[in-house]
Amino acid sequence: MRVHSAFAALGWAALLASVSLAPAFAASDDRKLDAEIDRLRDAGKIPGVAMALVENGKLVYVTARGVRNAKGDPLTPDTVMYAASVTKATFAYYVMMLVDEGKLDLDKPIATYLPKPLPDYKAYADLANDPRWREITPRMLMTHSAGFPNFRWLNPDEKLDIKFQPGSRYAYAGEGINLMQFVIEQGLGLNVGEEMNRRLFQPLGMTRSSMIWRDDFAGNLADGQDENGKWEPHDDRSSVKAAGSLDTTIGDMGKLAAAMASGWGLSAKARAEFAKPSLPIKSAHEFPTLTTEENPDNAKIGLAAGIGVVVFDGPQGPSFLKGGHNEITDNMLVCVGKGRRCVVILTNSGVGQRVIPALVKAALGETGAPWSWEYSRLPALTP
């Protein structure tokens, strides 16, 4: 496995061409792939880009390019970065371990796991007058179809509610993922942060990954840059949130992607369930989450929700992806069926999506990933 860290530059016009014409480089062409990352990073004005590549279920390439903070300290393969919502896919893999062991049934209502009704818990008291919560299953939570807003604080009254009939359609909801964590902790008596460390991070050698802040991360940490070029410090995540609290490195995420590609830790049945279509996605875009606008072309690629990931049929077979975005972070995991190949891209920029589609193509070739669905907020690619 090759590991690299460097800097470079090129122009905006080249970025425009690369979106449709970027070549795919074999892992053996690591210098060419390094140069392509540098070219795109500079043209897209992204301070730092880290990439890991998996082939045949094995991690074969890890690189980190650019800077991690306003001082210009280099981004390295062991720099701790936000996973953002790629946390959801990581958590989903752990969920499938519980399913594999018979501790959790994806289609059994969550009410059967909890020792008392959900609204009896203070965090979910807002649902007391809506009996539809009893219909919610783990599959609905993990496929973003329970009917929740993305987060309750987005509602004018900041209260949690159910927007539509649970299980009827896809609407991205961090609330649902966090509720799945709550059910596991309250119903199964498991500490999700500790369990993910024990069952995923430690066995896979993900030594610089945690669902909660660790003081030893401070020495090599990535700050983030917003779309206006303003740097924001990496904050300390003081509590475990399955929807997005994972701190990690590109080297560690490469190991996790290899596990996902190879099916490590899961039976063949459970691995298939993780990445199979559980619910068709009809929405024209992932965001805004509650939009009712639909795109019939989604069916042409079999766009659907898997367990914590989005699945689609591409030119390289059944594939899945999971993005992670906030104001200072833009990440992407894409795995294709052909050759059990994956790429993970972590950036410390709120506009990494300017270059992520081209980077994925450079690493894997044409995947058929639904970029227009994923990136409805994609900044205009104009000089």
pLDDT in tens, the chain (383 residues): 656 543 333 333 333 333 333 335 555 578 899 999 999 999 999 999 999 999 999 999 999 999 999 999 999 999 999 999 999 999 999 999 999 999 999 999 999 999 999 999 999 999 999 999 999 999 999 999 999 999 999 999 999 999 999 999 999 999 999 999 999 999 999 999 999 999 999 999 999 999 999 999 999 999 999 999 999 999 998 999 999 999 999 999 999 999 999 999 999 999 999 999 999 999 999 999 999 999 999 999 999 999 999 999 999 999 999 999 999 999 999 999 999 999 999 999 999 999 999 999 999 999 999 999 999 765 533 33
In angstroms, the CA 346 to CA 81 distance is 8
Q: What is the structure's pLDDT at 29?
A: 76
Q: What is the structure's pLDDT at 376?
A: 79
* Distances, alpha carbon 346 to alpha carbons 162, 209, 242, 323, in Å: 33, 14, 18, 10
Q: What is the structure's pLDDT at 364?
A: 97
Q: What is the structure's pLDDT at 20?
A: 36
In angstroms, the CA 234 to CA 69 distance is 10
φ and ψ of 344, to 5 deg: -120, 130
What length does the chain have? 383
Q: Give Cβ neighbours of residue 164 (< 8 Å, ≥ 6 apart).
A: 147, 171
In angstroms, the CA 312 to CA 55 distance is 19
Which of 327, 331, 338 lies closest to 365 in space, CA to CA? 338
| CB count in 10 Å sphere of residue 151 | 15
